[in-house]
C-alpha cells in the first residue's frame, strides 16, 4: 500500500464557538408567528427571559476539513479522499477552485432536550422561542465558521466562495449528508445521523464551500 492510501483525513474541532445570541434574527423569526404578534409587556419580559435561558442551553461547537479537488467531471467532482459529489449546481460553484472546505456546527443536545420538556409541559410559546434560538444560533455559528475559515485561508492567499451549499439544497441531494457526516466525524460532537439522513441533535448544520486562490 502506498503512502497516499495511508493518508489520514482528520477534521479539526472548534470548541466553544464565541458567538453572542443573534437577537435580531431570532426576533425576525418569531415576528412571523401569529401567536407572538400581540403580547403584553409581561409576556414580552417572559419572551426575553426565555431567549436568554435558551441561549444558555446552546453549546456551540464546530468542525472543518480542507480537501483538495483532484478531478472534475461533467456533473461531479472528486476529492482527494475519494469522495465524489454529484451536483451540477455545486460543480458550477467550485469551478476554478483547488479545494473544498467541508464544515459544520451544532448547538448541542441540551437546547433540544429542554425544548422537548417545554413542549410536554404545554407551554407552546416558550417552546417556539427555544426552537427559534436553537435554529438561528446554529445558523449564526455556520456564518462564524465561514468567517473563521476565511481568516485562516487568507494566510495562504486564499478565500472561500461567498456561497456555501448544504446537503438537500437544489440538486445536491440530502443523501450527501451521509458522506459529510463521515468526513467531519460528527459523532465526536455527539451528533447522530438517522437512516433518513437527518442529524440529531436537530440544531446541527453542515455545508461545503469552494476554496479559491486570490488573484
Q: Which of 30-44, 81-95, 195-209 has the lowest mean pLDDT?
A: 30-44
Residue 1 lies in a domain: no
CB atoms within 10 A of CB 95: 13
Residue 123: pLDDT above 70? yes
Which whole-number Å values give the CA distances from 35 to 26, 53, 114, 156, in the listed order? 15, 20, 21, 50
At residue 37, the pLDDT reads 59
Residue 7 lies in a domain: no
Number of domains within the chain: 1
Residue 90 lies in a domain: yes
Residue 1: pLDDT above 90? no
Mean pLDDT, range 125-132, rounded to an integer: 93
Chain segment 149-160, per-residue pLDDT in tens:
999 999 999 999
> Containing domain of residue 79, as a range?
15-213
Residue 81 lies in a domain: yes
Contact status, residue 193 vs residue 181, Cβ threshold 8 Å = yes
Residue 146 lies in a domain: yes
Cβ contacts of 146-151, under 8 Å, gap ≥ 24: 146/103, 146/207, 146/209, 148/14, 148/62, 149/64, 149/101, 149/103, 149/209
Residue 9 lies in a domain: no
Residue 29 lies in a domain: yes
Chain segment 21-45, per-residue pLDDT in tens:
998 899 888 875 555 556 677 877 8
At residue 50, the pLDDT reads 93
At residue 6, the pLDDT reads 56
**Distance from C-alpha of 169 to C-alpha of 85, rounded to nearest angstrom:** 13
Which whole-number Å values give the CA distances from 39 to 29, 36, 213, in the listed order? 16, 6, 51
CB atoms within 10 A of CB 88: 13
CA atoms within 13 A of residue 139's CA, in its CB half-sphere: 13
**Distance from C-alpha of 38 to C-alpha of 26, rounded to nearest angstrom:** 17
Q: What is the CATH number of the domain that holds 172?
A: 3.40.109.40
Residue 3: pLDDT above 70? no
Residue with cell 456561497: 163
> Of 93, 122, 100, 127, nearest to 112 (Cα)?
127
Residue 70 lies in a domain: yes
**Distance from C-alpha of 118 to C-alpha of 49, rounded to nearest angstrom:** 14
**Distance from C-alpha of 132 to C-alpha of 30, rounded to nearest angstrom:** 7
β-pairing, 199-200 vs 84-86, is unpaired
CA atoms within 13 A of residue 34's CA, in its CB half-sphere: 0
Spell out a b/e string for 115-151, using b for 16 or more CB atoms within 10 Å of the CB, else e.
beebeeeeeebbbbbbbbbbbbbbbbbbebbbebbbe
Amino acid at each position: 500500500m502506498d503512502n497516499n492510501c495511508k493518508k489520514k483525513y482528520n477534521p479539526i474541532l472548534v470548541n466553544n464557538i464565541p458567538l453572542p445570541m443573534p437577537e435580531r434574527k431570532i426576533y425576525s423569526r418569531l415576528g412571523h408567528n401569529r401567536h407572538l404578534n400581540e403580547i403584553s409587556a409581561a409576556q414580552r419580559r417572559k419572551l426575553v427571559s426565555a431567549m436568554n435561558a435558551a441561549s444558555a442551553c446552546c453549546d456551540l461547537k464546530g468542525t472543518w476539513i480542507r480537501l483538495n479537488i483532484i478531478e472534475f467531471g461533467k456533473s461531479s467532482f472528486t476529492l482527494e479522499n475519494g469522495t465524489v459529489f454529484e451536483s451540477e449546481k455545486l460543480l458550477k460553484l467550485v469551478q476554478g477552485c483547488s479545494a473544498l472546505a467541508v464544515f459544520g456546527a451544532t448547538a448541542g443536545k441540551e437546547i433540544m432536550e429542554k425544548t422537548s420538556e417545554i413542549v410536554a409541559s404545554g407551554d407552546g410559546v416558550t417552546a417556539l422561542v427555544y426552537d427559534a434560538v436553537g435554529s438561528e444560533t446554529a445558523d449564526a455559528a455556520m456564518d462564524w465558521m465561514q468567517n473563521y475559515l476565511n481568516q485562516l485561508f487568507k494566510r495562504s492567499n486564499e478565500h472561500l466562495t461567498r456561497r456555501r451549499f448544504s446537503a438537500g439544497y437544489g440538486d445536491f441531494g440530502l443523501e450527501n449528508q451521509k458522506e459529510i457526516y463521515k468526513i467531519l466525524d460528527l459523532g465526536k460532537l455527539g451528533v447522530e445521523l438517522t437512516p433518513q439522513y437527518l442529524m440529531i441533535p436537530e440544531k446541527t448544520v453542515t455545508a461545503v464551500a469552494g476554496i479559491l486562490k486570490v488573484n
